[in-house]
Amino acid sequence: MKKSVFLGTVAAATMVAGMGMADTLADVKARGELNCGVNTGLVGFAAPDANGNWTGFDVDVCKAVAAAVLGDSSKVKYVPTTGQTRFTALSSGEVDVLARNSTWTFSRDTDLKLDFVGVNYYDGQGFMVPKELGVTSAKELDGATICIQTGTTTELNLADYFKANNLSYSPVNIDSNAEGEQQYMAGACDAYTTDASGLAATRAAFADPENHVILPEIISKEPLGPAVRHGDSNWGDIVRWTLNALIAAEEYGVTSKNIEELVKSSQNPEVQRLLGVTDDLGAMIGLDKEWAKRAILASGNYGEIFAANIGEQTPIGLARGLNAQWTQGGLLYAPPFR
């Protein structure tokens, strides 16, 4: 620690500016560890267990990138970031990838100098109401009190939606999801609004989930995806295509179980390219031939990751919905590996 303090002091005095020439891939390889920004705790997406091991849907993206780049999915340093610190942590270089259920928006992509490399979860804002209220559509919420997290895009979406539909509401401002649940359960508000995935997780944790309904309206688009810094396109490519590899693997039926077999026997040329049997796609992004194979082996393909963390077999119980492959009516569409 002493040494790092000293380095920091010297550095502050000299103010070396080296941001533009960053080579994140080389940095990560030299460090031997991927710094991955995650949520401080969001059920299903990123959470430390009793032993401090991180699991979750976003965490598996970190693991896949670490496996592709470093060959070991455990070589990840999880940097917990709050809603306020996440983008600064990324742009200041504290983390290499930000996999923290962040919505891809215009201003974040441009003004904040981030690059969203794709979407790993298509979310949207919904409403939950107690069944006894008898409400079946968000349009019937005129005059309702609504619990809403302050300082989030959900707050703005809510205002937009009610204005567009000429409805009125009175907000009950809350600070965190846990507080929102508590207020909602205590009857401080008629409806609770947040991302649909969050609503499902919240409802699943109630003592009486059958007495609460999630209304069918989804009032916003919340494409959540991993982000990297502007200015290092090669690193952006690596993260983007690692994510695409997970999605493509599901499309082509490559799972962590059958992958070794497919490497030997698959006749599908796309799978052969993906797994590095033919062609050397890895070399084009500065990695070796088997990068995608390792990424898929880390925690499985997209479908496996979904099922293990937030899918219908888990307590959260999310259906695939928009997050199904394009072949099954969803929005997941990985560009060809060629």
Partner 1 sequence: MSEIHAETVAFVRETMLPAEAPPAREAGAVKWLRENLFSGPVNTLLTLLGLGIIWFLVSHFWDWFAHSVWSANSLSECRQIIAETWGEGARGACFAVIRERWNQYVYGFYPSDLYWRPTLVFGLLFVALAPVLFSESRSLRRLILGLTTAVTLILLVALGTPVLWLIFAAAVTIGASVIAERHPLYLLIFSALYPLLGVWLLWGGSIWGVIMVLVGFGLGWGAWLVAARVSPMLSAVAAALVAMIWWIGFAGAAASDAQNLIPLGITPVDSDQFGGFLLSITIGVAGIALSLPLGIVLALARRSDMFLVTSLAVMFIEFIRGVPLITLLFVASLLLNYFLPPGTNFDIILRVIIMVTLFAAAYMAEVIRGGLAALPKGQYEAADALGLDYWKAQRLIILPQALKISIPGIVSTFIGMFKDTTLVTFVGLYDPLKSMSDAVRASTSWKGIYWEPYIFVGVIFFLICFGMSRYSMYLERRLARDHR
CB of 93 to partner 1, least distance (A): 3
Q: Are 152 and 83 in contact (CB under 8 A)?
A: yes
Number of residues in contact with partner 1, rule: CB under 8 A? 56
Q: Which stretch binds partner 1 (CB under 8 A): 38-46, 103-111, 211-219, 275-283?
A: 38-46
Using rule CB under 8 A, residue 22 touches partner 1: yes
Among 42, 246, 254, 281, which residue interacts with partner 1 (rule: CB under 8 A)?
A: 42
**58 touching partner 1, by CB under 8 A:** no
| Binding positions for partner 1, 256-315, rule CB under 8 A | 314-315
Identified binder of partner 1 from the candidate list 305, 316, 318, 322, rule CB under 8 A: 316
- Selected from 26, 159, 178, 283, the binder of partner 1 by CB under 8 A is 178
Q: Hey, what are 245's tokens?
A: 């590899």
**Local structure of 259: helix, strand or coil:** helix
**Cα-atom radius of gyration of the chain, to the nearest Å?**
22
Q: C-alpha distances in angstroms, 22 versus 17, 18, 96, 101? A: 10, 7, 11, 25
Q: Measured from the CB atom, is 11 or 159 closer to partner 1?
A: 11
64 binds partner 1 (CB under 8 A): no
207 near partner 1 (CB under 8 A): yes
From residue 77 to residue 96, what is the string marking binding to partner 1 with x (rule CB under 8 A)?
x-xxxx-xx--xx--xxx--
196 near partner 1, rule: CB under 8 A: no
32 lies in the site for partner 1, by CB under 8 A: no
Nearest distance in Å: CB 208, partner 1: 10
Question: Can you tell me which residue has the tokens 């990138």?
Answer: 65
Nearest residue (CB) to partner 1, 231 versus 330: 231
Distance of closest approach, residue 89 Cβ to partner 1, in angstroms:
8
Contact of 130 with 136, CB cutoff 8 Å: no
- Exposure letters 9-32 (e unless 16+ CB within 10 A, then b): eeeeeeeeeeeeeeebbeebeeee
* Three-state DSSP string of 88-108: HHHHCCCCCEECCCCECCHHH
Closest distance to partner 1 from the beta carbon of 316 (Å): 7
Task: Candidates 28, 34, 36, 43: give the one binding partner 1 (CB under 8 A).
Answer: 43
**Nearest approach, Cβ of 65 to partner 1 (angstroms)?**
19
**Sign of the Cα pseudo-torsion (161, 165, 166, 171, in order):** negative
The answer to whether 46 touches 56, Cβ cutoff 8 Å, is yes
d(CA 193, CA 162): 13
Helix (H, G, I), strand (E, B) or coil at 175: coil
How far, CA to CA in Å, does 111 sit from each of 105, 136, 166, 239? 10, 39, 32, 21
> Does residue number 47 form part of the binding site for partner 1 (CB under 8 A)?
yes
- Which residues contribute to the site for partner 1 (CB under 8 A)? 1-9, 11-12, 15-19, 22, 27, 39-44, 46-52, 77, 79-82, 84-85, 88-89, 92-94, 176, 178, 181-182, 201-202, 204-207, 314-316
